[in-house]
Amino acid sequence: MQNGFRNVLMLAVLPLAMNVAFAAAKAEKAPAPAPAPAAAAAPTLSAEDKAATGKTYFERCAGCHGMLRKGATGKNLEPANTAKLGQARLEKIMTYGTEGGMVNFDDILSKKEISNMATYLQMPAEAPPEWSLADIKNSWKLLIPVDKRPTKQMNKVNLANVFSVTLRDSGEVALIDGDTKKIWAVVKTGYAVHISRMSTSGRYVHVIGRDGRYDLIDMWTEMPTTVATLKAGFEARSIEASKFKGYEDKYAVVGSYWPPQYTILDGLTLEPLKNVSTRGNTVEGVYHPEPRVASIVASEIKPEWVINVKETGMIKIVDYSDLNNLKETTINSAKFLHDGGWDSTKRYFLVAANASHKVAVVDTQTSKLAALVDTAKIPHPGRGANFKHPKFGPVWATSHLGADVISIIGTDPKGHPESAWKVVQELKNHGANSLFVKTHPKSENLWSDAPLNPDPKMAGSVSVYKIADIGNPDVKAEVIDIAAAANIGKTKGVQRVVQGEYNSTGDEIWFSVWTGNKTEASAIVVVDDKTRKVKTVIKDPRLVTPTGKFNVYNTMHDIY
């Protein structure tokens, strides 16, 4: 039995052993397998190039794509996505721009800078440091105390018609006398001032740079003077003063992109008083580490600010009447909140949720969402434009980064309930990639730009409609080549015409001709609103890359 079992076992094992031996012999005779291909080297930059490229990303890209590159108006640029595109494709996108509204960078950055940026975007994003209330307080400088300031206006300038003009790449604002068309003063500020806002009294100009520097400029002095300054964060976009009766000039608020927070300040000294983080969940219930503060407006019917949080899609109604017991009402809307403005009654606030292709409407009387209006792709209204439509009554308009139309939304739920909070008409813009629409209560016209259009002719032109004719389905815009009228000569950079702004009386509209290159000429073109003819071209070596323009009277009173 034992021998029989042994034989059976040998019969079972022997074939297996023979197969193993045969495989080993075959392996000895076969050539060695080719080595596996080496993994591609991780993208890298020298420390010097990385630092320079990071600075460029902050200055040129973070506004749309986020400091952490998680995307908002622009796409997510984390390595998981950029590595799929690869170096050559990324360079091409940056060189030529996109139809979604990204400008072509071939006239702004060198080929090496574009190449370095493509590499940088394939490397992991690094989170910037935090910036607390203590940090803000340490950065605060009260340059001229309130009791050392003039008690009356010490100059003869018509302050109501002064324009605060952003000189993007020089880190300054030019205060231009709207009556004489002369530069009154150039004031050093933070990098690429995003907006200027006015105190309720009209005396002070509040300016915020994209680098988070906040300056308070007094216009009662003989020459405009910075009386207080601080650093609100590492990146910021929005500021506003308190406007409710009894709180005029009392408080100010600044919203930061990084860290994501808003900070309440003394309105006359900029002393930091309270800091509130906006980190939290999106409207979809997903935590987001970088919910940036976009536009802020001040209510005139309550002691409140409307603060829009971009990535979460949440709108904060902040009651500033008791800072020790700060009250926030949070309204869910849609991602990604950006810019917007009041309707003509200043009860309803309309804000673009641009990557969601919607406009959110907030009823500030009830602190509730009134509507989410579907629009064309990527609405970008600036403050928008209010006017009376021949058929639908009071309306508000927005242009679009991603579509060549102007959407007109009904804003009269009592007088025209059937058309309230709906797109009642779309007008053809001369091109997509628009940033601003503009009109004025005393104007008969509606204007729109398209500065980010890749076609230089479109980027340098504006569309203008006669409001009385807008109800006609066959209405067409007059297209005016503002860049050609500026006659600044040949430039390497595209001559982009951006942001129409009216003077205080509503009979002129000013446009910036922005080349995007601080070494080249720029200009401001003043157009007669009635005749649509150029009245004046403001040229001055100090006008370095002018972009936004903010008329004191119109900004004080939210006229658009």
Catalytic residues: 61, 64-65, 102, 338, 380
Cα→Cα distances 285→191, 313, 332, Å: 35, 11, 11
Which phi and psi angles does 59 have, rounded to 5°?
A: -75, -35
User: What separation, in Å, do the N-terminal and C-terminal C-alpha atoms of the chain show?
Assistant: 106
Strand-pair partners of 428: 405
If 0-12 CB within 10 Å is exposed, 13-18 middle and 19+ buried, where does residue 40 land? exposed
Q: Cis peptide leading into 336, omega within 30 of 0?
A: yes
- Alpha-carbon distance 242 to 134, whole Å? 23
How many C-alpha atoms does 535 have within 13 Å on its Cβ side? 17
111-120 helix and 79-96 helix, angle to the nearest 10 degrees = 160
Contact 367, 341 (CB under 8 A): no
The token pair at 282 is 């999106």
Burial (0-12, 13-18, 19+ Cβ within 10 Å), 370? buried
CA angle 388, 306, 188 (to 5 degrees): 95
